[in-house]
Amino acid sequence: MKFPGTTVAVKAIWAVSCLGLMGAAAFNNADAQSCKKRSLAYTVALLELYTSEGCDSCPPAEKFISGFRAIPVNADAMTADEVVPLSFHVDYWDDLGWRDVFAKNAFTLRQRWLSGLASSRTVYTPEFFLQGKESRAWLHQISAAVKFINTKPAQADIDIATGRVIDGRLQVNVNASAMQNGKLYVVLYENAIRSDVGAGENSGVTLLHDYTVRDWAEQKLSPDYHGHNTTYLSYNFVVPASLTIENLGVAAFVQTDRGEVLQALALPLCGS
């Protein structure tokens, strides 16, 4: 489905710390107060999918995204230390019989911005972007492209710290530093979503969604006295009671105004 629109190296050891516990990305501890992760010395790729529940050609692309949750079983499998996948639901199909409750106009605008950087006047679903650039051969070439990106030294540092979900809110604190100017983006994503579609092109189909962006925040980096561009963002994400904590995660990435992704980082929530 298409929509005509206006353009608008060496791997370092990474650590996840949950009150001093090292190694696991998530754990079950009712007393846990915080969960932390720092970005790696090499570049982790950012893979974005633009999708819609009103698009009958999108389920295969979403199935591909869901595959990143599987335990790696071969040399071609990719982990969160290599690629951060995110699924952005757009709203320009909402008037064709089915309103996608996960869609936001801000995601549509971001897709148009990325397309505009490539001098494209068209956005469509499903559409993939890898490191801010369109990737049409996603089914066969993503793995090799990600591994090449991983050979490059990181151009930004990111630290994420999250607390517990309290009264329906999750506080996320992120520090970022880069040699280039740009923005820090922080997102709350959800896995294991089942959605029964009652109308439109996917009428009668139960769709499965992973890495679905539920909310996001952004903030510009500013130059400091040492010649770096830095920022600190503290944001409270709203977490409805209907969401399962174990299915939630936070991701952050730094991107220049030209669309170049300098570094990405993802952190599943450590529990409630």
Name residues whose C-beta falls within 8 Å of residue 166's C-beta, 6 or more positions apart in sequence: none
Cis peptide before 126 (omega within 30 of 0): yes
Residue 188: count of CB within 10 angstroms of its CB: 23
Burial profile 129-143: b = 16 or more Cβ within 10 angstroms, e = fewer: bbbbebbeebeeebe
Q: If DSSP codes are grouped into helix, strand and coil, which group holds residue 244?
A: coil
9-268: CATH architecture = Sandwich (2.60)
The β-bridge partners of 18 are 21
Instruction: Specify the pLDDT at position 25.
Output: 35
Residue 86: count of CB within 10 angstroms of its CB: 25
State the maximum Cα–Cα separation within the chain, in Å, rounded to a whole number: 58
Q: Which two tokens stand for residue 20?
A: 């001093």
Of the candidates 99, 121, 85, 167, the one whose C-alpha atom is nearest the C-alpha of residue 2 is 121
Q: What is the dihedral angle through the alpha carbons of 61, 64, 69, 72, rounded to the nearest 10 degrees?
A: -170
Question: What type of residue sits at position 95?
Answer: D
pLDDT in tens, the chain (272 residues): 543 333 333 333 333 333 333 233 332 333 345 699 999 999 999 999 999 999 999 999 999 999 998 766 555 678 999 999 999 999 999 998 999 999 999 999 999 999 999 998 899 999 999 999 999 887 788 999 999 999 999 999 999 999 999 999 999 999 999 989 999 999 999 999 999 999 999 999 999 999 999 999 999 999 988 888 999 999 999 999 999 999 999 999 999 999 999 999 999 998 64
Instruction: Specify the pLDDT at position 11.
Output: 35
Question: What type of residue sits at position 196?
Answer: D
Instruction: Specify the pLDDT at position 72.
Output: 66
Whole-model pTM? Answer: 0.86
Pairing of strands 16-18, 21-22: antiparallel
Instruction: Specify the pLDDT at position 36.
Output: 95
Helix (H) or strand (E) holding 177: strand 169-178
Q: What is the dihedral angle through the alpha carbons of 127, 131, 133, 139, rounded to the nearest 10 degrees?
A: -50
Pairing of strands 45-51, 83-89: parallel
Q: Quick one: CA dihedral 187, 36, 47, 138, positive or negative? A: negative
Instruction: Specify the pLDDT at position 215.
Output: 97
Question: What type of residue sits at position 25?
Answer: A
For residues 14 and 38, the answer to whether their CB atoms sit within 8 Å is yes
